[in-house]
A and B are shown apart, each in its own frame.
Chain A
Amino acid sequence: MTFDEAQGYVVLATLAAPLLTMLLLVFVPGTQKTAVRYISAVAGAIMLGLSVYIFTAYQVGDGHNDIQMQLRWTWVENVAFLKKDGVTLALGVDGISATLALLNGIVAFAATLVSWKLDFRTKDFFILFWMLVAGVYGTFFSLDLFFWFFFYELAVVPLYLLIGVWGSTRKEYGALKLTLMLVGGSALIWIGIFATVNEAGLGTFDMRQLWAAGADGTLDPTFQKTFFPFMVIGCGVLAALWPLHTWSPDGHMSAPTAVSMVHAGVLMKLGAFGIIRLGIQLMPEGAEFWMPTLMALGVMGAVYGATAALTQRDFKLISGYSSVSHMGYVLMGLATMNAIGVTGAVLQMFSHGVMTALVFLMIGALYDQAHTRDMKDFGGLAKVMPVWVIFYTLAGLANVGLPGLSGFTAEFHIFVGTFRTYPLAGALAIFAAALAAAYMLRMFAIVFFGPLNPRWAGLKEMTPLEKVSGGLLIASMLAMGLYWAPFTDRIGASVTLLPGVTG
């Protein structure tokens, strides 16, 4: 067994950890809520540790830049239309998925800590929650289209129950709309996958063989141009691609805190990740043809989301629209098809992940006590919840793109990449960042500052667990904001190898 293969088992363990936790929780009586919580917290910590290991162990340098830590188990082959390597459980990471796996570890652990006070059907909640996390890890690690899709669905489906059962504010509507839109997108992806496997005629779902087929023209250019939109629209729904974004404000408004954190923090990134894996890598010709359109839609989302956020009154709607805006940046970065922009897009996925998770954590900490999210009800909260205000302010400043926090690092790379090919789009995106300052500061001014509304004199500071959870997210934001070379080294190494991406 080579070292790389041994590390492959680490990847497998990271994927297996949430699944085993699910299995373990099934055998814990539902009344033993504390046990459920402790098991979940320990499991979350283990997953975070494994994710950190994968991220740090990913080697950068000449001859190292490809997919590493591979593991391959044959699942089904030589049956019906499947030939050799028909379906394999092939796992592995590149610089992009190593970074995103780290994000998943951080956000999932933070969300576990925040869910400590969840008291309604705790066991069921955590079983579904770990299913979601397993789906996310699986999608990041899979190198086989079949399993990629399998895990993608595994991540999406529990959302319906998590929002529908544990949510608030029009939760049935939010959950239903979200699930239907995402499943609709999945249908497009599934069509795209089958069409690709059929067109390539290799009888395999193995991504690496299919990527090669896409690059060397086995997948006909016309085919690529036809089916690229299937993949991008299908994945784009989850990445809040304008105009398919409307599940985002409603879904976030309805979802419970931990689900909002994981959903906005990690799940939305699956969509953008899918655009890389199934779009850029699988259909480079299609990508070249369609990227200007994606750029236009990305700019549209960035400006539109920021504009709509300006006049919202519900915290979660602000964050929902701001997510649309920030995911618009991600799409823009991908659409640049140059190394700086695409790296920026992945940086933004990480940055937006931790930042939005922190924002939803803050909103949850307030909503649990106040039971309203209308900004106009508040005022002067810095008096009663100073730490909460500092945390939220940091999240907001990252959102605004303040240097020193992760948002700037990511947005800066995206802007630079965009300017290289589309200066006008880049200028509009920078303008949207100024709008972000306006909507964030408007909220700060109304909610945090000014005289304290006596109705809220009794509000309590965040719990210690919430502080730990928020502190972890803030540390991540600062790490990327102050010294981003560890991130750009890994991401850049893989991004420069993507087909069609220029230096």
Chain B
Amino acid sequence: MGAEQAWLLPAVPAGFFILLALCGRYLPRQGDVLGVLAIGTSFVLFFFVLADYLGIGEGTDLVLKSWAWSEIGDFSLRFGIAVDPITIVMLGVVTSVALMVNIFSIGYMKGEARYYWFFAVLQLFAASMLLLVLADNLLLVYVSWELVGVCSFLLIGFYWEKRSATEAAKKAFITTRIGDVGLLIGIILLWREAGTFNIQEIIHAAEEGEFSSTYLTVSMLFIFLGAMGKSAQFPFHVWLPDAMEGPTPVSALIHAATMVVAGVYLVARLLPIYEVADHTMIVITLTGLITAVLTGFMAFAQTDIKKVLAYSTVGQLGFMFIALGSGEPAAAMFHLMTHAFFKALLFLGSGSVILATHHNQDVSKMGGLWKKLPVTGTTFFIGSAALAGVVPLAGFWSKDEILNAANTEWGAWALALTAAAAVMTAFYTTRLFIRTFMGEPRDRHVYDHTEEPGWVMGGPLVFLASLAVVSGFLVFSGVGSAIGFPGGITEFVYLHHPHEYSINWGLAALSLGISGLGIAIGAWMYWGNSLARSTKLAESYPGAYRWLLNKFYFDEAYQWCIDHLVLGFSYIVSWFDRHVVNNTGVDGSGEATVYGGFVLKFLQTGKIPNYAMGIALGVVGLAFAGIMVRG
């Protein structure tokens, strides 16, 4: 099995999806083991692909395999798969996190209605996501892009009896769909000039300068719209926190580790084009910066454990876009990977907490849970530390790379903003951890009824926690080559030239300072799960607090626009259609005909002289017309 058989990775879960969806409910244990088996197979196959790809050796950029799909005149479509370093990173992330989430779900979803359906959709999602990262052409990317979107819709709305879940699913789908309009327009615009959907050929065309400058910029910005929608970047960030209505394993898999990074993946994949398209890199960087800072603020006042993590995810995705905008795909993909591990860990950990506390998600009712939940608490601690950027955990190394990239490409202002966002990350992470696991319990009843879930959930936590500890070391050349890579991550994923990672001591110190500062502020404010200081702060600045609590009123503003502008316009069109087009135009011409008949019937008098008069007038009229025409 070589890398060109990588199509098996999506094919296996796709097959199991059909099996589970059609007969899952009749299988023993509703087929949950089959789900784990399917994704486990993909996980194992990934190592074959990896080994084969690394074995091919340097210089081989891409392993390709493609199939002719359809042909109309000169318009022919080929679909295929491509394996390159970016794909390898994504495959590793997707299969490993998906496997952990599948195992975790056996415990978390136990006894839920539609248990088999949950696992079926997880397989469909895994298949679509793997296809997305393997696709060698933009059309296939779009196809799988939409499919992961619909899986997200189905899973956010898994508890469809709840109105809020249904609304959240709808919001997620429509918001990302608006971005997808841009994506499809962008893809077709690129095709229009390049005459192909194949990514490599388009990149080649762009580098050869086959596009006019403005045209390329416009097309690539349209594509970026799609990435912004999927990765919940400002101003599309509103759907992701609501998506937390879905079961928590779904949040870990789709809304933290894999689907939401599809935007990052797409931009990284097309980065050679973005680089030659004027003004696009600064747009990407600014989008990332605004999102990272904005969501940092939004996470401050949230008390729902999953919502804090959701805003954090949006912010971390912003970091990845900063790296991409700075022309460093290695930093972005590195952070994508480490973030996938520790954020999946945090979400699964929060799921463990939620299940242990009998479906309580509100941190204001928690506190002191570490004693009750040793496994969850410890792994959550590791995840939080990694997110906050504590040395030597994974988050430290990848965030350091991003700071470095922002500084090198854009200078001090970008570095300052990125650093500010990183401080906020450390702060709200500390807040979340203290309020959940430390100090005194806020709600005795919740505390007393808390118990650690079993190892089917604990196991994935431990696995992901160990990845959160070690995956950061992949940055070192020695570590990379020891496990068969050409070197550290920067020597594996790169835009033009591989370069060996070396520690920039000044930035490393800054990085340390950032996490230290954020953690210190968080600890000072919430130590012992005491709200005295934070309450005082909130009371001193009630206006600011209200804005934070309401997330800067984005949702309200959007809702107003939908209700008054979109639906209002629709009401006007409907009214116009009924009253002007139909009742006046169509019915009106019918009524005019009837009225015409009514009027004309009086001509039929039955009196011979009248008819004779008509004939005479007709003759005169025709004669006159004849003379006029003939001249």
Contacts and interface: CB of A to CB of B under 8 A. Distances in A.
A32 to B, nearest CB: 39
B75 interface: yes
Interface stretch (A11-19, A227-235, A326-334, A414-422): A414-422
Contacts of A343: 72
A340 B75 contact: yes
A175 to B, nearest CB: 13
Of the listed residues A250, A343, A416, A485, the one surrounded by the most CB atoms of chain B closer than 10 A to its CB is A416
Contacts of A402: 146-147, 150
A378 to B, nearest CB: 13
A312 B575 CA distance: 11
A45 B127 CA distance: 37
Q: Is the interface of B mostly helix, strand, loop or mixed?
A: helix
Contacts of A488: 70-72
Of the listed residues A180, A304, A441, A448, the one surrounded by the most CB atoms of chain B closer than 10 A to its CB is A441
B160 interface: yes
Nearest to B167: A445
B174 interface: yes
A430 B177 CA distance: 10
B481 interface: no
B580 to A, nearest CB: 9
Interface stretch (A145-153, A210-218, A432-440, A463-471): A432-440
B573 A246 contact: no
Contact of A246 (B180, B189, B581): B581
B334 interface: no
B558 interface: no
Nearest to B173: A441
A402 B177 CA distance: 11
A225 B79 CA distance: 42
Contacts of B162: 450
Interface string B144-163: 10110010010001001111
B174 A441 contact: yes
A496 B73 contact: yes
Contacts of B581: 243, 246
| Chain B interface size, under 10 / 10 to 19 / 20 to 34 / 35 or more | 35 or more
Interface string A465-503: 000000000000000000111001101100110000001
B74 A503 contact: yes
Contact of B150 (A397, A426, A431, A483): A397
Interface in B255-290: none
B185 A430 contact: yes
Given A304-B573, A492-B73, A415 B184 contact: yes
B585 interface: yes
A83 B566 CA distance: 60
Nearest to A496: B73
B70 A431 contact: no
Interface in B175-219: 177-178, 180-181, 184-185, 188-189, 191-192
Nearest to A303: B573
A308 interface: yes
A66 to B, nearest CB: 16
A430 B184 contact: yes
Contacts of B143: 403-404, 408
A81 B492 CA distance: 81
Contact of A423 (B69, B146, B161, B192): B192
Given A430-B184, A442-B170, A403 B569 contact: no
Contact of B163 (A382, A413, A423, A451): A451
B569 A433 contact: no
Nearest to B585: A243
B142 interface: yes
A416 B74 contact: no
B535 interface: no
A181 interface: yes
Contacts of A208: none
Nearest to A242: B581
Contact of A444 (B73, B144, B170, B177): B170
Contact of B166 (A243, A427, A450): A450
Contact of B570 (A250, A307, A427, A434): A307
B337 to A, nearest CB: 27
A403 B573 contact: no
A453 interface: no
A449 B166 CA distance: 7
Nearest to A340: B75
Given A438-B174, A485-B71, A450 B573 contact: no
Contacts of A416: 75, 188, 191
Contacts of B181: 430-431, 433-434
A311 interface: yes
A427 B225 CA distance: 14
Of the listed residues B188, B192, B569, the one surrounded by the most CB atoms of chain A closer than 10 A to its CB is B188
Given A416-B188, A445-B170, A404 B72 contact: no
A415 B174 CA distance: 20
Contacts of A437: 173-174, 177
Nearest to B74: A503
A265 B149 CA distance: 28
B170 A307 contact: no
Given A423-B189, A427-B185, A451-B161, A434 B177 contact: yes
Nearest to A309: B570
Given A311-B574, A433-B181, A489-B71, A420 B192 contact: yes
Contacts of B586: 177, 181, 246-247
Given A426-B188, A437-B174, A437-B177, A308 B570 contact: yes
Contacts of B501: none
Nearest to A420: B192
Contact of B189 (A397, A419, A438, A489): A419
Interface in A352-409: 380, 382-383, 397, 402-404, 408
A308 B573 contact: yes
Nearest to A343: B72
A483 B188 CA distance: 20
A310 interface: yes
Given A308-B573, A434-B178, A449-B166, A403 B72 contact: no
Contacts of B69: 483-485
A339 interface: yes
Given A308-B577, A450-B166, A339 B157 contact: no
B235 interface: no
A491 B75 CA distance: 13
B193 to A, nearest CB: 11
24 contacts: A177-B590, A181-B586, A243-B581, A246-B586, A304-B577, A307-B569, A311-B570, A312-B574, A339-B75, A340-B73, A380-B161, A397-B150, A402-B147, A403-B142, A415-B188, A416-B75, A433-B181, A437-B174, A437-B177, A441-B170, A449-B166, A485-B69, A488-B70, A492-B73
7 cross-chain pairs, A with B, having the tightest CB-CB distances, nearest first: A492-B72, A310-B570, A403-B143, A449-B160, A449-B166, A503-B73, A246-B582
Interface of B: 69-75, 139, 142-144, 146-147, 150, 153, 157, 160-163, 165-167, 169-170, 173-174, 177-178, 180-181, 184-185, 188-189, 191-192, 566-567, 569-571, 573-574, 577, 581-582, 585-587, 590
Given A243-B581, A402-B147, A419-B188, 9 more contacts: A246-B581, A246-B582, A312-B574, A339-B75, A340-B72, A412-B139, A420-B192, A438-B566, A484-B70
